[in-house]
Amino acid sequence: MHSATKSIASRAIRTGAIGLFYLILSLGGGANAQAEAPVLQPWAGTTEGAPLPPWRVIGLPGGKVPLLAPDIQSLDGEWVLRLRSDRSYGALSHALPPASTPRYLQWQWRLDHALANADLTRKEGDDAALKICALFDLPLEQIPFVERNLLRLARRISGEALPGATLCYVWDQTLPTGTVLNNAYTARVRLHILNTGSDPLGRWLGHRRDLHADFLAAFGRETTTVPPLLAIVAGADADNTSGTSLGFVRQLQLMKQ
């Protein structure tokens, strides 16, 4: 590989939470998790505290950033996922069986305390109080040349089959609803803003998304087909802005129709 490409890859791998997104997610879910979890395991009927397998809590390697530890708690009479960030990063990952092609993702979320200084257009502001992400197995040959080589290098370093495309639904306080943009660190992650500062805090809001339509809207310049899903992730982070936030997710479901 050309030395300039290696240098770019090295800088990309050393970046913040989202820049390390692929490596973290790969560490969070392997073949065993896929075998145990053919569908999304609901939180209903679990207990308070750490989520049960096949859900896995994941953070940044090296311990340089405090871990946001997503946990299950009872709220409004049902089990929900709590995401409380304090200058921290963390997510909950659920790996899927090979060649998974469910089309619809639905959930409800509620933001009680928003991030004050998040700005998803800049690396320094690349934080989110609530995000739900879908990881897709986009083939390398469909990824632009420079990004393809960066991904190849990251896969070689990590020893994992890292995803070629990630679509994240985000609650952001400043960008208009419907905005779709590249992550500030990597174009392998596209952000879709679903809720913004004009939406009420402390109230449950529901979404049902057509993953196929949203994937093509975000990555349609690279491919005309929708690749299989690798995992679904729910998370939050406030490490870049050193902020705090509190949000909840419930009734997260993945369906074919």
Chain mean pLDDT for the chain: 84
Among residues 142, 98, 128, which one has the least CA distance to residue 231? 98
The share of the chain scoring above pLDDT 90, in percent, equals: 61
Quick one: average pLDDT of 160-179?
A: 92
Contact 85, 236 (CB under 8 A): yes
Q: Is residue 20's pLDDT more than 50?
A: no
- Percent pLDDT > 70 in the chain is 82
Q: Is 70 exceeded by the pLDDT of residue 12? A: no
Greatest pairwise CA separation for the chain in angstroms: 57
Q: Is 7 left (phi over 0), alpha (psi -120 to 50) or beta?
A: alpha
pLDDT of residue 59: 86
pLDDT band at 141 (very low <50, low <70, confident <90, very high): confident
pLDDT at 155: 77
At 160 the pLDDT is: 67
The full DSSP string for 166-202 is: EEEEEE-SSSPTT-EEE-SS-TTEEEEEEE-TTSPTT
Neighbours of 153 (CB within 10 A): 18
Strands 56-58 and 89-100: antiparallel
pLDDT at 156: 84
Euclidean distance between CA atoms 233 and 81, whole angstroms: 12
**Per-residue confidence (pLDDT) for residue 77, from 0 to 100:** 87
User: What's the pLDDT score for residue 45?
Assistant: 63
* Sheet containing 189-195, strands listed edge to edge, beginning at the edge strand earlier in sequence: 56-58, 89-100, 229-237, 128-136, 165-171, 189-195, 180-182
CA angle centred on 191, ends 17 and 245, rounded to 5°? 55
CATH number belonging to the domain at 3-255, selected among 3.40.50.10140, 2.40.30.10, 2.60.120.260, 1.10.357.10:
2.60.120.260
213-235: per-residue pLDDT in tens?
Answer: 999 999 999 999 999 999 999 99
Enter the tokens of residue 200.
Answer: 């009420």
pTM of the model: 0.84
Residue type, 236: A
Domain boundaries, the chain: 3-255
